[in-house]
């Protein structure tokens, strides 16, 4: 049975990716730092007929990530798909010349280092897959092409750096498919209720990369199943 771990899967885009992969026959590991919310999301996926296991993981905490990899290996012997979805945009992330170092650090710790940290910790399990895939949920806010408009600078810089993590991992792991995805503007707690896309639409390219995309598609930035500029 194929396995997938999605971080930040208790709500928003992550939960929808987990739901869809569960419906496709994956054993999904619902990664969440909040145990109650993670268990609830896993139970909802199981109710729909998917195989879902809650996995406690705070991507900003090395100990939590290491413990999660240990816990995972008690349940499954390989990991086919890792979706680094957990992400934050902090209050006060308003203007590049004014944001505090603390906001920058905290945002990086989760959005950028978190994804690298989780990938490293699960690498031995990913290496046991016949076709390992790592999907980093990024944002067009991190695109350098076209310049910036000043919105959420710490968040955007963290996603630019996450895209750097993607290309570095793709180079270091030639048998893997490692890609960044922009889900578009999605109606979640982060995206807000006025966003243009549903969670189903936001999850689409991520689920496609996890399950159907060619294994040799790697080191790219994608939206709507198509490559976009960095």
Q: Is 155 a catalytic residue?
A: yes
- Which listed residue (122, 191, 213, 218) binds ligand NAP by CB under 6 A? 191
Q: Which residues, in sequence order, are CB contacts of 52 under 8 Å at separation 6+?
A: 18, 22, 27, 28, 29, 30, 41, 42, 43, 45, 46
Contact 14, 85 (CB under 8 A): yes
Complete edge-to-edge strand list for the sheet that includes strand 81-84: 51-56, 27-32, 3-6, 81-84, 133-137, 177-181, 221-223, 226-227
Work out whether 14 is an interface residue with ligand NAP (CB under 6 A).
yes
Beta carbon nearer to ligand NAP, 108 or 128: 108
Q: Give 3-state DSSP helix, strand, coil % of the chain, rounded to 5.
A: 45, 15, 40
With CB under 6 A as the contact rule, which of the stretches 42-50, 122-130, 184-192, 208-216 interacts with ligand NAP?
184-192
Whose Cβ is closer to ligand NAP: residue 12's or residue 174's?
12
Confirm or reject binding of residue 153 to ligand NAP (CB under 6 A).
no
- Give the x-and-dash track for 88-127 against ligand NAP (CB under 6 A): x---------------------x-----------------
Binding of residue 189 to ligand NAP (CB under 6 A): yes
| Residue of 2, 74, 159, 226 with catalytic role | 159
Give the length of the chain.
230
Instruction: Give me the least distance between CB of 136 and ligand NAP, in Å please.
Output: 8
3 state SS of 74:
helix
Q: How do beta strands 27-32 and 226-227 pair?
A: unpaired
β-bridge mates for residue 226, sequence order = 223
Is there a catalytic annotation at residue 63? Answer: no
Only segment of 7-15, 47-55, 117-125, 217-225 that touches ligand NAP (CB under 6 A): 7-15
**Residue 94 or 128: which CB sits closer to ligand NAP?**
94
């Amino acid at each position: 049975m194929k396995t997938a771990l999605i971080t930040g899967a208790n709500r928003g885009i992550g939960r929808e990716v987990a739901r869809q992969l569960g419906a496709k026959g994956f054993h999904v590991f619902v990664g969440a730092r909040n145990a109650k919310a993670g268990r609830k999301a896993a139970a909802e996926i199981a109710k729909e007929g998917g195989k879902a296991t809650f996995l406690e993981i705070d991507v900003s905490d090395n100990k939590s990530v290491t413990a999660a990899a240990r816990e995972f290996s008690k349940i499954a012997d390989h990991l086919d798909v890792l979706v680094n979805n957990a992400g934050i945009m902090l209050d006060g992330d308003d203007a590049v010349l004014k944001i505090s170092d603390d906001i920058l650090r905290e945002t990086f710790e989760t959005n950028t280092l978190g994804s690298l940290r989780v990938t490293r910790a699960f690498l031995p399990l990913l290496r046991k897959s016949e076709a390992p895939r790592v999907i980093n949920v990024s944002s067009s806010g991190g695109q350098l092409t076209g310049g910036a408009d000043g919105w959420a600078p710490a968040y955007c810089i963290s996603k630019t750096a996450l895209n750097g993590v993607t290309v570095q991992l793709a180079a270091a792991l030639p048998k893997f498919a490692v890609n960044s995805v922009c889900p578009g503007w999605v109606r979640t707690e982060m995206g807000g209720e006025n966003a243009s896309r549903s969670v189903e639409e936001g999850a689409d390219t991520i689920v496609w990369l996890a399950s159907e995309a060619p294994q040799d598609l790697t080191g790219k930035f994608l939206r709507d199943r198509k490559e976009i500029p960095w």
